[in-house]
Every structure is written in structure tokens, then in C-alpha cells.
Amino acid sequence: MQAKKFKIKKDDQVMVVSGREKGKTGKVTNVLVSKERVTVDKLNMVKRHTKPSAKLKHGGIIEKEAPMAISNVMILCGKCKGPVRVGRKVLDNGNKVRFCRKCGEVIDK
């Protein structure tokens, strides 16, 4: 079976468009392709109650980022300054790039 292709990649600047973090922006730290989820830096924080272990001597309550659905985030365009839909195209030199559907700006470096 072929792996799904997503238009959001690690290190992209994204804005959350739905859910309790709506309107906030951040950098993608992880993309879970099999579960169709992304982890965004400092967003969707949850508290995890942990027992003491070899790594955590005291245990306690740890705050960490939880993955959110990839459909709840949109890439931020540097030119448009807002969340945009993304397309793919092949340049004249044969490189595949992502681009902003609003202004046509190339997103990939």
C-alpha cells in the first residue's frame, strides 16, 4: 500500500484553524503519517500523570504537546501573512515544490 502524501512537513509554520487552540501559530515538530496527525511546538498541551521510574525519580505531572489532526492546521504563507491552501507543481528544472494557492509564492526553499 502506498503511503499518504501530506502538504504539511516538519519545520513548517502553521496556524490552527479549529479546536481549542484556534488562531494560534507554531512550528511543526513531528508528522505522524499513519495517524494523520501533527505535533506543533507549544500548542495542544496536555498533562500526563507519571509514576516514579528510573528516568523520573519523583514522577508527578508533566506537560507535553499532544498530536492534533492534520486537517486542523494550515500552512502560513510568508507573503500573504495568513493561513493558505497549498498546491504542488514541477518547476522548469524538474524540482517539485509546494506553492501558495492564493499568491503563487513558492513555500519550499
**CA-wise closest residue to 99 among 90, 1, 37:** 90
CB 33 within 8 A of CB 10: no
Query: What's the maximum distance between 2 C-alpha atoms anywhere in the chain?
Result: 58
pTM of the full structure: 0.86
C-alpha cell at 73: 492546521
What's the pLDDT score for residue 3? 73
Distance CA 10, CA 82 (A): 19
Q: Which domains does the chain have, with CATH numbers?
A: 13-76 (2.30.30.30), 81-109 (no CATH)
Question: pLDDT tens digits, residue range 4-55?
Answer: 889 999 999 999 999 999 999 999 999 999 999 999 999 999 999 999 998 8
